């Protein structure tokens, strides 16, 4: 499976698990909501720095965002 698909699914999964809207996650990351939306739709290539920002905002390890969920 494409790593972008895995990341997008995990991002949405952990965001929803924590009860966050895209706007709330974007505010926690200090980015625009459209950026979060683009990541969830696999339209945004994510840098390692962004990966860390997402992980920090969601309270997960970066590796959790890249691991296939069972």
Predicted TM-score (pTM) of the model is 0.92
Q: pLDDT for 9-66, tens place per residue?
A: 999 999 999 999 999 999 999 999 999 999 999 999 999 999 999 999 999 999 999 9
Tokens of 12: 């949405």
The ranges assigned to domains in the chain are 3-63
pLDDT beyond 80 at 70: no
Q: Write down the CATH number for the domain with range 3-63.
A: 1.10.260.40
């Amino acid at each position: 499976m494409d790593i972008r698909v895995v990341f997008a699914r995990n991002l949405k999964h952990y965001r929803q698990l924590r009860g966050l809207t895209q706007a709330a996650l974007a505010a926690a990351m200090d980015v625009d909501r459209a950026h979060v939306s683009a990541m969830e739709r696999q339209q945004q290539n994510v840098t390692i720095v962004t990966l860390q920002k997402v992980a920090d905002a969601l309270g997960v390890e970066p590796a959790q965002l890249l691991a296939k969920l069972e």
